[in-house]
Chain A
Amino acid sequence: MTGPAPIAPATISAESVRGPGAGAEIEGGTVLRGGPKIDLRRKPRVAESLIKGFLFLCGAISILTTLGIVFVLGRESLLFFASEEMNLFKFFGGTEWQPAIGRFGIWPLVTATLMASAIAMAVALPVGLCVAICLSEYATHRTRSILKPILEILAGIPTVVYGYFALTFMTPMLRGILGRDVVEIYNTASAGIVIGILVIPLVSSMSEDALSAVPSSLRQASYGLGATRLETAVRIVLPAALSGVAAAFIVAISRAIGETMIVAIAAGAGPNFTFSPFRAAETMTGHIVRISGGDLSYDSIDYNSIFAIGLLLFLLTLSLNVLSQWIVRRFREEYE
């Protein structure tokens, strides 16, 4: 948004183009010395305006997308809450999600989502931040050029592959370490750990951008006062980049909450109100995928219920994203 404003052709008037002695001005045009008559005034260019209108429509499609999301989620959710057996109190007060017997309490899905996200953050935040500090403050140019593509590869692997990894590698490993009777085949812990691995590149690349943006004069001043590399990194650079790092953390949380395939494959199928990470439980996203993957008849309460979950998910992630943008704007340290 900071690009230089181009000089619009509309502002170039006939006045500025016509030099001294360009020729005699007659009605509606200019005659160059001995040449043909040229009209140098602004012309209405229909094609140009049409193109501009089309390009505006392209931009407006994004607004339409948002309106579409809000309309679709809102409409079906309203239908859901308008049905006689449902109300907001039952939705947010119930601890049982059993569509078959008409129980729609959101808490089992929410606790599973929060548990998986919390485990993911316990993995991704420390590791991601350490990687970012390592890349921005410690690594040489050459190591960076090797390590950054590796992180990009990690970020480019489809989530369904991570889901496979969680089910066929992480779960057997957890069961091997903690015992088969402690850890169920489907559990939130392995899904959470793998989501953590998935968001490490996100955390580290966003944090690294923030750390690298700190001007090097700060580092040099710190070294000049005799600080070690660690002290410079942790007490000077990190506080200066804190807003960017915090924003990265919040975006990572939002990403973990919205992550779908890993939990759909590895966390279990069936809402389960539990606080044990080693038991099967279904998250909000996992439930949406499982229900819509089956034969789903439109205008049933099942169909409407997944849109109610979707609306909650959308509001949750949207507010986290807005919060992260606000933090960046509000707390950014400006340097000359």
Chain B
Amino acid sequence: MALIQDHTADQPAGGLMPSGSAYHDQVVARQRRGRAWAVIFQAAMLAGIVALCALLLNILNQSFGYVAIVNNIDPGELADNGVPLDKLPKDELVDILEANISAGLMRRYEHDMPFAQRSRENVHELILERVVEPQVQATWGLFDSIFTRGSVFAEAEERFAGSEVYFRSWLTTSFISKSQSSEPLRAGVRTAIFGSLWVVAITILFSFPIGVGAAIYLEEYARKERLLNRLIQTNINNLAGVPSIIYGMLGLAIFVRILEFFTSGAFLGIGDQSTANGRTIISAGLTLGLLILPLIIINGQEAIRAVPSSLRQAGFGLGATHWQVIWHHVLPSAMPGILTGTILAVSRAIGETAPLVVVGASTFIALDPSGPFSKFTVLPIQIYQWTSRPQDEFRNLAAAAILVLLILLLSLNASAVLLRNRFDHSRATA
């Protein structure tokens, strides 16, 4: 009724409905309003898509582009008889290195690893690092590099005379295979990738069994009318809404401080003695495990609830015990749903940054983590640190690391979607 009265309020008296041309005008106006709002709704939709595109393009823009580089010594001068540096055999490279760096440094390299054992690439690398010493002067984004190529070169010529300008992809195979370095041109994310994998492995080992166990308890065993079980359920729903940084503080106080004896590895005597405190991979993994536990439980419950009860009753009818029914019938048919939820929760854990900063990720490690009791850094932490540096070239590194992270997450999510689709399909045909 309210609908009709609204529209007749401004109509002349003489009936509930307007008549004649007034009726026609009113319908036209209402339809026009409807069309206008439909456009607004679609514009909102478009705004979301535009935001996503802007985000992705911005990252691509920063990951590739021209860089202006000034070398301490031009590699052309090091070339021997017209043979460029990267074509020279190893012996000549060693000679060049010896001629250009101090004897003490040379001895240190020999001590680290005898030159006889080093590969040609390794020596070439040392020359670039110690002799050529390329320094990034300026970087440009992908779009500038494509659309205003001329002005990029003009600007480089004007501001950094003698610099070498070339197109650089910040995301390269060596970016993935090299470890952290303070030199942007040689920095990589290898340590961070290994750190992420270690942390996530611990997270899964901790939260998957416990999460699925809790989901089974709540769905199969818990009597809903008991206060304790209702409390657990409400509590899980609330935990899912706690900000991640609070979990970080929990991890800092419990795993890093109170359980330091265990999380530092001291109880096994294998901890890294130089950093014998609790800021280790295992603390980080357990913290993230607590963080994603509510997500795994809630998803697991949904998957278990979706198993038809006829399956259970058939099992009981054949005389199976409660656990036999769960283990042999309920869990196998709920497993695709549980796994999908777990993958989504794990991809959340991989992208989580704030709790790990609080737990105490290391700011700089160049060594691969050796086990659950070593110091750690992870991909998002690496991105955060590079983003917080003022120099442009570190922003480029951060963009490249973001690409690595997004590719990792995208493949995880794609596998979750595939799993879900296959499961839906097989259930539909069954």
Q: Are A292 and B45 also in contact (CB < 8 A) when A61-B293, A163-B387, A168-B58 are?
A: no
- Verify A150–B244 contact, CB threshold 8 A: no
Most chain B CB neighbours (cut-off 10 Å) among A45, A151, A158 = A158
Contact with B along A50-90 (1 / 0, CB 8 A): 01101111111111011011001100100000000000000
Q: Are A285 and B245 also in contact (CB < 8 A) when A51-B323, A126-B44 are?
A: yes
Chain B nearest Cβ from A172, distance in angstroms: 10
Q: At the interface, yes or no: A119 with Cβ under 8 Å from chain B?
A: no
Nearest A-chain residue to B254, judged by Cβ: A68
Q: Are A292 and B347 also in contact (CB < 8 A) when A56-B217, A260-B243 are?
A: no
A156, B347: Cα distance in complex, Å: 8
Chain A nearest Cβ from B376, distance in angstroms: 14
A52, B4: Cα distance in complex, Å: 60
Of the candidates B37, B42, B58, B233, the one whose C-beta lies within 8 Å of that of A230 is: B37
Q: At the interface, yes or no: B133 with Cβ under 8 Å from chain A?
A: no
Chain A nearest Cβ from B189, distance in angstroms: 14
- Verify A3–B309 contact, CB threshold 8 A: yes
Q: Are A76 and B242 also in contact (CB < 8 A) when A6-B322, A127-B44, A130-B40 are?
A: no
Interface residues in B19-75 (C-beta closer than 8 Å to A):
30-31, 33-34, 37-38, 40-45, 47-49, 51-52, 54-55, 58-59, 62
Q: At the interface, yes or no: A114 with Cβ under 8 Å from chain B?
A: no
Nearest A-chain residue to B236, judged by Cβ: A62
- Verify B323–A48 contact, CB threshold 8 A: yes
- Verify B49–A150 contact, CB threshold 8 A: yes
Chain B nearest Cβ from A325, distance in angstroms: 7
Q: At the interface, yes or no: B103 with Cβ under 8 Å from chain A?
A: no
Majority secondary structure of chain A interface residues (helix, strand, loop or mixed): helix
Contacts of B58 in A (CB 8 A): 165, 168-169
A52, B216: Cα distance in complex, Å: 9
Of the candidates B232, B241, B348, B360, the one whose C-beta lies within 8 Å of that of A292 is: B360
A259, B241: Cα distance in complex, Å: 11
- Stretch binding the partner chain, chosen from B123-131, B180-188, B394-402: B394-402
Count of residues in B whose CB is under 8 Å from the partner chain: 102
Q: At the interface, yes or no: B290 with Cβ under 8 Å from chain A?
A: yes
Number of A-B contacts defined by CB within 8 Å:
276
A259, B232: Cα distance in complex, Å: 26
Q: Are A6 and B62 also in contact (CB < 8 A) when A55-B213, A158-B409 are?
A: no
Contacts of A258 in B (CB 8 A): 242-246
Q: Are A6 and B220 also in contact (CB < 8 A) when A69-B250, A235-B2 are?
A: yes
Chain B nearest Cβ from A39, distance in angstroms: 13
- Stretch binding the partner chain, chosen from A22-30, A97-105, A305-313: A305-313
- Stretch binding the partner chain, chosen from A176-184, A221-229, A270-278: A221-229
Q: Are A235 and B3 also in contact (CB < 8 A) when A59-B222, A130-B45, A165-B58 are?
A: yes
Nearest A-chain residue to B291, judged by Cβ: A65
A271, B222: Cα distance in complex, Å: 48
- Verify B384–A1 contact, CB threshold 8 A: no
- Verify A134–B42 contact, CB threshold 8 A: yes
Of the candidates A8, A197, A265, the one whose C-beta lies within 8 Å of that of B322 is: A8
Nearest A-chain residue to B47, judged by Cβ: A127
Q: Are A161 and B321 also in contact (CB < 8 A) when A72-B249, A151-B48, A313-B245 are?
A: no
Q: Are A317 and B402 also in contact (CB < 8 A) when A164-B59, A165-B58, A265-B388 are?
A: no
A56, B213: Cα distance in complex, Å: 8
Q: At the interface, yes or no: A318 with Cβ under 8 Å from chain B?
A: yes
- Stretch binding the partner chain, chosen from B92-100, B110-118, B349-357: B349-357
A12, B325: Cα distance in complex, Å: 15
Contacts of A66 in B (CB 8 A): 235, 238-239
Q: At the interface, yes or no: B275 with Cβ under 8 Å from chain A?
A: no
A324, B363: Cα distance in complex, Å: 39
Contacts of B88 in A (CB 8 A): none
A168, B142: Cα distance in complex, Å: 14
Interface residues on A, range: 35 or more
Chain A nearest Cβ from B276, distance in angstroms: 15
Contacts of A227 in B (CB 8 A): 3
Nearest B-chain residue to A137, judged by Cβ: B41
Chain B nearest Cβ from A75, distance in angstroms: 8
Q: At the interface, yes or no: A242 with Cβ under 8 Å from chain B?
A: no
Q: At the interface, yes or no: B266 with Cβ under 8 Å from chain A?
A: no
- Verify B245–A63 contact, CB threshold 8 A: no
Q: Are A156 and B387 also in contact (CB < 8 A) when A150-B52, A168-B62, A225-B3 are?
A: no
Of the candidates A9, A62, A151, A161, the one whose C-beta lies within 8 Å of that of B59 is: A161
Q: At the interface, yes or no: B167 with Cβ under 8 Å from chain A?
A: no
Contacts of A55 in B (CB 8 A): 213-214, 216-217, 221
Contacts of B247 in A (CB 8 A): 69
Q: At the interface, yes or no: B168 with Cβ under 8 Å from chain A?
A: no
Contacts of B85 in A (CB 8 A): none
Q: At the interface, yes or no: A293 with Cβ under 8 Å from chain B?
A: yes
Chain A nearest Cβ from B45, distance in angstroms: 5
Interface residues in B217-259 (C-beta closer than 8 Å to A):
217-222, 224, 229, 231-233, 235-239, 241-250, 252-254, 257
A162, B51: Cα distance in complex, Å: 11
Interface residues in B341-371 (C-beta closer than 8 Å to A):
344, 347-348, 350-354, 357-358, 360
- Verify A63–B31 contact, CB threshold 8 A: no
Q: At the interface, yes or no: B90 with Cβ under 8 Å from chain A?
A: no
Q: At the interface, yes or no: A167 with Cβ under 8 Å from chain B?
A: yes
Chain A nearest Cβ from B290, distance in angstroms: 5
Nearest B-chain residue to A147, judged by Cβ: B45
A278, B95: Cα distance in complex, Å: 57
Q: At the interface, yes or no: A206 with Cβ under 8 Å from chain B?
A: no
Contact with B along A317-330 (1 / 0, CB 8 A): 11001100100000
Nearest B-chain residue to A126, judged by Cβ: B44
Q: At the interface, yes or no: A118 with Cβ under 8 Å from chain B?
A: no
- Verify A58–B213 contact, CB threshold 8 A: yes
Chain A nearest Cβ from B154, distance in angstroms: 22
A43, B41: Cα distance in complex, Å: 63
Contacts of B249 in A (CB 8 A): 72-73, 288, 292, 306-307, 310
* Sample (10) of A-B pairs whose CB atoms are under 8 Å apart: A7-B313, A63-B231, A76-B253, A134-B45, A152-B413, A164-B399, A225-B4, A289-B245, A292-B357, A313-B245
Chain B residues at the A interface, C-beta cutoff of 8 Å = 2-4, 30-31, 33-34, 37-38, 40-45, 47-49, 51-52, 54-55, 58-59, 62, 209-211, 213-214, 216-222, 224, 229, 231-233, 235-239, 241-250, 252-254, 257, 290, 293-294, 297, 304-305, 309, 312-313, 316, 320-323, 325, 344, 347-348, 350-354, 357-358, 360, 380, 383-384, 387-388, 395, 398-399, 402, 405-406, 409-410, 413, 417
16 further interface pairs, Cβ-Cβ under 8 Å (given A66-B239, A162-B55, A321-B241): A7-B316, A58-B214, A62-B232, A68-B254, A158-B380, A164-B59, A168-B395, A225-B3, A260-B243, A264-B354, A264-B357, A265-B384, A288-B358, A310-B246, A313-B245, A322-B238
